[in-house]
Structure 1
Amino acid sequence: MTAQSGTVSPTAKLAVLVLMSFMTTIYLILIRWTRITSSEKYITTTAVAMQESLKFMFAFAILIWESKGISSALHTIKLEAYDQPMSTLKMAVPSVVYALQNNMNFIALSNLDVPVQQVLYQLKIPAAAFCSVLLMGKSLSYQQWSACFMVFAGVYFEKIVKKDETSIWVCNLQMYMWTTSASIIAVLTKDLSAVNEYGFFYAYSPAVWVLLVIGSVNGLIVSLVLKYADNIVKGFAAAISIVLSTIASHFLFQYDVGLGLLVGCTIICGAICLYCLPLPCLDSKFVTVATKMTGSQYDQLTSVTFADEDDEINSADSTK
């Protein structure tokens, strides 16, 4: 993965998929575990607010480290955020949706098994593909469209971090400022009476704190993926976790794995392979170029792994 080129190598893409899959699985399993194993239930809106606050603190700490000092970090924030209020305002759009989504995840996993929640959650992948084309002008191959047969917030945030020259960590600070604010508003409007009665940190066990830290770190990883890869890769990384969460749920929660879920997992794995491991024979651009080449030129082209479709076409043209 390179910041300069904004592309990811196949090895880096695989590493991202594996890392995000495991992180997402652990995060969701912990939410489910903490919601059903304790008789005392923590207040979910406070958990989301605390998680977003931790994200803000982690992003600020990384910016300080990257800037080699707190003074330089504050100067960067002033130049790229405070002096550019419209840039900060734009972040309110995905931030509010993310805050709502995070609250809904806690509610869903309080009532649904993890695999069921994950399968339903992946309905956002086709929407992500559509929004990527609509908002960012991306061109997806026929193969990638077939793989996509999560949502506006993710694509919009991807557009901002890729089109803007602002530091990714400043972007994160802008976003987490809004998500923390929105989450606190949710606490005040939905659970203020419960907070007054039991306290903000009611039923916060060590497992809950581990959950919040993992959720915060996972959020930072997601932002890096959106900066240097794309939102659909993020979506498919989450899709892999369906398989992992199903296995974990079977052993931890005695979840009964039915034939329908197994078929669904198989389809998802096929979609992941179609999107992340491009097959030249399914790409119309590749076929158009390859049909104009000699046998030796075709063999040479198929032996090379390309970073993206544009590299594929340019390399093919150069062999003419």
Structure 2
Amino acid sequence: MCKVYNEVGCITTINSHLIRNNINDLKSLKEIIDFKNSYADVRKEIISHHTLLIEQEKKILEEEISHLKDSIIAKENEVREQLLQEIEKLKYRLTNLIFKNVTVFRVLTRFCKKIILKLKIWTNKLLFSFRIKKSIQHLIHFLTKKTERYEYIVSFFNDAVEESSLSQTKHLDKKKAVIDEINNSIYGALGEQMVVKELKTLADDYILINDFNCTFDPPLYNSRERNYIRSIQVDHILISPFGVFIIETKNWSKESQNNLSLRSPVEQIKRTNLALYKMLVSEESYSDLMLSRHHWGERKVPLKNIIVLINQKPIEEFKYVKVLTLNQLLGYIKYFEPTFSTRETQKIADYLLARNFRAIVD
């Protein structure tokens, strides 16, 4: 089986985007796709769950309100009875205020006590309603709060459900928005993984480098476009017994293919080809590669440009670039006759891997 280095580039982009946005529970492309597909159903389940919770809350409130009303009536009656008994006791004491051996001092004392008892009776009668209200004040407070909540639920049931579910739906919607920002990368990753799956079936003497990145200092001069190449990124580089295949994957719809604002993959891959060509034909690279000499002269490393379109490809042909569908890819690669030994193929791969930003074997 073909040896594979690195995850596909779109997966790296996706993972970085999710980490930046504190989304750590989606560990694979499948989980991301499953989340996208199930989002609407999950949101409905959240709303349904909180609808049930609000219905239950409404029922509980009805019971609590009824219980509070009964408690208030019971408490009122209890306190009223206690206050009436207290007044009756004071009246009894007033009526039975008798002193034996009447003296001036005792008459004066009796008079003062009568005044005090009458004042207590008067005060108790005056504060009678206030004391009853004060005794049930906390129950009235609870009843008011629960009645207001109950009436709100009855009048604005959907709003109550929305408020109850807001924390969960907000978190879910934010996650959906973050994922929607990388839709293109998700579709790109699907396409790139399909290409990798195909290429993995190749023999052991094929080596695949995904998401190849390289910078150039000083930059390489691009005489055709009259500019400089400072860096390149390639979806896949396949090192084979024939040479090197530069592969760009596009999971594009027909509309995307006709979109003039999207960068031409043909120009992109030609630019990459130029950079890799200059890398592989330099004196330094030839020395590092240690390719066996042919008696006619120094051998070159053939570079082939391939654009793989997952859905459909245009009918047009392009100079120096082969545009293929996924099911045409392996047939095209295997068409070429091998010219490099397994050792030489590995040497070319090692040379490129040493210049890649990162190389992680799969």
Please report the TM-score for the alignment, with normalisation by the length of structure 1. 0.23
Which structure dedicates a bigger proportion of its chain to helix? 1
Which structure dedicates a bigger proportion of its chain to strand? 2
The one of the two structures with greater contact order (alpha-carbon pairs below 8 A, sep at least 6) is 1
